[in-house]
Amino acid sequence: MTALPPITIARPDRDRLYTLLDSIDSDSEVVAALYQELERATVVEADKVPADVVVLNSQVRFVNEETGKSFQVQLVLPQDHRPGETVSVLAPAGAALLGLRVGDEISWPSGGKTLRLKLMEVG
């Protein structure tokens, strides 16, 4: 497997995500992977996150490299999810995108398959 790209997470996002994950009674693949992402992330204050890095509530455009399909959504907490407009941070694509920089590519486990995503834009 390809090495994971480095990720940056805002301290308030990390704290909200730990609270969320700790409240979930699940051993899901996404929850386990998100814990691993939080552990390996560079954590910075919210005002120090570069503009091209995905944080909670970022508008993002990414490409599924398997299908070539492009998506434009907002990364949100599960309670704020609106189908077609947002992607939950607990969805495989949402968890994969968290902390990436524009141009980063990531391979992410998803139900026995692997998602290959490339981040094109953060707005």
* pLDDT given at position 2: 58
Q: Which residue has the higher pLDDT, 18 or 2?
A: 18
DSSP 53: B
pLDDT above 60 for 68: yes
**Cα–Cα distance measured from residue 28 to residue 94, given in angstroms and rounded to the nearest whole number:** 14
pLDDT above 60 for 4: yes
Spell out the domains of the chain, with CATH numbers in brackets: 8-122 (3.10.50.30)
pLDDT above 60 for 29: yes
**Cα–Cα distance measured from residue 117 to residue 112, given in angstroms and rounded to the nearest whole number:** 16
